[in-house]
Amino acid sequence: MSEPIPALLLTFTNVTKSYSGRTVLNIPSLIIQPGIHYFQGGNGSGKTTLFRTCAGLLPFAGQILLDNQYEISRDPVAYRLRVNYAEAEPLYPGFLTPRDLTYFVGETKRAPDGQIDELSEVFGVDQFWTAPTSTFSSGMLKKLALLLAFLGRPRVILLDEPLTTLDRATAGRLFDLIRRYRAEQNVTFLLTSHQDVTLSGLPLTGVWQVGGGSISAVG
C-alpha cells in the first residue's frame, strides 16, 4: 500500500522581498510540509525577513498560501489567526504588563479557556505577571514573546531565535511544549537558531539553508 501524501501546509510561489530595491529573498517555489522545520543561515542571510514575511508583517511580491486556502493579503484575518510568530528580539510598549499583553493577544487569537494560565506557568511569566515590561531583562521579554506565540489554535508557529537569552530550564520546557503542540494539536513549527537545534532531540521534519536570497533543503 502506498504512503498517504501529506497535506500541503505553506506554499510559497514567486515570493520576493526587497528593502529599498535590494532583493533579500527570492523564492520561486517552496513547499513546507507539516512538521518541525529548522532554518539555518549566517547573520544577515534573510531568516528574520523570511519569518516576518511569512507572518504577514512585511509587504512582499508573490504568494504565500496556507493549507491551499488562506492567502495573507486576501484573507488577512483568517491567515493571522492561524500563523503565530515570536520575534527574535521582542520589544513592547514599556508600560504594558504580561497580563495586559497576554489577555489582549489571547482575545485576538481566540485562546481557549485555561490556555493563558497554563502557558504563563510553563514559561514562568506568572512570576512577573503584573510588572511593566520596561523593567524586564532580555530573557523575561523572550519568555513573554514565546508565551504569546503559543496562544490560540495556530496551524503554524514561527519562532525566530527562541533560545537566545532563554535559561536552560525554560528551554527544556519550550522543547517539551513544541513536542506536545506538534503531537496533540498538529501545529507546524518553523525555527531559526544560531545554536544547533539538531542536537535538541526535536523530531525535525526539514532542515533548510537560507543564503544568497534563496532557501534550499539540507541533506
Ligand X SMILES: Nc1ncnc2c1ncn2[C@@H]1O[C@H](COP(=O)(O)OP(=O)(O)OP(=O)(O)O)[C@@H](O)[C@H]1O
Pick from 27, 40, 48, 66 the residue near ligand X by CB under 6 A. Answer: 48
Residue 47 is a binding residue for ligand X (CB under 6 A): yes
Query: In b/e form, how buried is each residue of 105-140, taking b as 16+ CB within 10 angstroms?
Result: bbeebebeeebbeebbebbbbbebeeeebeebeeeb
Beta carbons of 42 and 211 less than 8 angstroms apart: yes
Nearer to ligand X, 19 or 95 (CB): 19
How far apart CA 38 and CA 118 sit, in angstroms, is 26
Nearer to ligand X, 47 or 155 (CB): 47
Virtual CA dihedral for 200, 204, 209, 210, nearest 10 degrees? -90
Residue type for position 112: P
Nearest distance from C-beta of residue 45 to ligand X, angstroms:
4
Residue 24 is a binding residue for ligand X (CB under 6 A): yes
Nearest distance from C-beta of residue 46 to ligand X, angstroms:
4
Nearest distance from C-beta of residue 68 to ligand X, angstroms:
27
Residue 49 is a binding residue for ligand X (CB under 6 A): yes
Each residue 75-114 as x (binds ligand X by CB under 6 A) or -, in order, gives -------------x--------------------------
How far apart CA 144 and CA 87 sit, in angstroms, is 11
Nearer to ligand X, 4 or 21 (CB): 21
How far apart CA 53 and CA 25 sit, in angstroms, is 10
| Residue from 165, 194, 161, 175 nearest 88 by CA | 161
Residue 152 is a binding residue for ligand X (CB under 6 A): no
Residue 19 is a binding residue for ligand X (CB under 6 A): yes
Interaction site with ligand X (CB under 6 A): 19, 24, 41, 43-49, 88
